[in-house]
Structure 1
């Protein structure tokens, strides 16, 4: 999702709902799978590590914003051979433009989890729509236990008071890395990304008349679907958004649907 979505019609239901994002980690031996589920995405990355480097990587997309997004699963292969020490994959600006932001983020999180020796774990984020005072409440739970609680005003932290005035964008990643342990820093960055993606809830981005990617020229080069040939040929997917204001779908139901799609 982008900060500049004004070319989409406003969502009349916005203001009374909740954005939800779940990231699930499942590690085994020398590998880990990281999956994300939210209003706009269902996708996963599996990483295999040997000799301190990424030996292999596979990605899957089941629900995504643009018609071109699945092409990014092959592009993620550029991570093979990179160090697997828990630091973010070192991609150049050109390489990042050819990647899916969310797949790379899942890969980064997976490497970080593996470096700490963490195994199965589920992180769930809930974020209320902005109210009339432009406030939002965010909660991050790890395996059902509350790990973070924020009150935001225009994407600036109002609570907890010790971090009041800190913007979630513009130097946030470096600030988090310098202040928190790697495990806690990951949760803060997961929360930041949830706030970014949730901006899309204010608009109808999957309407019956799909828009061309090229209608957002300011984003050219931002990710796989906004780069190369995709920028001129890709369209929005229609009907892909899932409003999870009432809660996440039951896990067993999600698993059954996953199987039906040919997992």
Structure 2
């Protein structure tokens, strides 16, 4: 199959910008545009500043305070051990984890995730870091059917299968897995994905007390049409 870059589909970009005493992480894709600024003293997160520039549900902004409570005062090295991802916005949570891991990097990093719309039931998925392709696979029905590393694995049970990867590949596989799952939304009519009460309780909005009142909002962009790329400076940032 051709590269995902040659086909229409889902696009997601993470940008990690470390600097003295703080690190900024950002993500934008078809449905989301968010950022997390972590200010630290070299050991502990002194201030967490999450922002939702574009979110798909009316209840999503409430997750900002949840993330502040989860990570404020926590040692950067202990970020991965924080529990409660499902009670947080999972996108903000992942941005916080990236901030903790890359706070002392010497340069900015950009991850680009490209997931093609299905062709004969198969999606090509690729992840690049600073322009270098780290992992690619072909997925069908949530199963990876072609991959140099992970053929035969399923997206919904992928975690045990990637723990033995090298650190750079492990991070990339986690980000690509989640991006590939979100990409399935492109093939589901909006009216069929706009009832939060039908969703499993796997994020802040989909907890039962909020799912019952959540309403679908927010612009949906198709970055694969070539008009602009995620995280280009726009009205969202």
SS of 2:49's equivalent in the other structure is strand
Of 78, 96, 102, which residue of structure 2 is paired with 1:113?
A: 102
Question: What's 1:88 paired with?
Answer: 80
Q: Aligned ranges for residues 90-169 of structure 1 at < 5 Å?
A: 90-91=82-83, 95-114=84-103, 117-132=105-120, 134-169=121-156
Scaled by the length of structure 1, the TM-score of the pair is 0.78
Question: What's 1:255 paired with?
Answer: 233
- Cα deviation, residue 251, structure 1: 7.2
Whole-angstrom distance in 2 between the partners of 1:211 and 1:137: 26
Question: What's 2:169 paired with?
Answer: 184
- Cα deviation, residue 124, structure 1: 0.5
Whole-angstrom distance in 2 between the partners of 1:155 and 1:212: 22
> 1:136-171 CA deviation, whole Å, 9 max, x = no partner?
11121212222222122323223334532122221x
User: Contact 2:16–2:109 (CA<8 Å) still a contact in 1?
Assistant: yes
Distance 1:146 1:224, change over 3 A: same
Distance 1:163 1:203, change over 3 A: closer
Distance 1:210 1:163, change over 3 A: closer
Question: What's 2:202 paired with?
Answer: 222
Unaligned 5+ residue runs, structure 2? Answer: 1-6
Distance 1:212 1:158, change over 3 A: closer
> 1:93-131 CA deviation, whole Å, 9 max, x = no partner?
xx434310110011112212226x253011101111122
SS of 1:174's equivalent in the other structure is helix
Of 161, 171, 185, which residue of structure 2 is paired with 1:175?
A: 161
Unaligned 5+ residue runs, structure 1? Answer: 1-15
Distance 1:152 1:222, change over 3 A: closer
Whole-angstrom distance in 2 between the partners of 1:152 and 1:60: 32
Distance 1:190 1:162, change over 3 A: closer
Distance 1:74 1:82, change over 3 A: same
Whole-angstrom distance in 2 between the partners of 1:161 and 1:181: 14
- Cα deviation, residue 63, structure 1: 1.1
Could you say what the CA RMSD is over the residues aligned between the two structures, in angstroms? 2.5
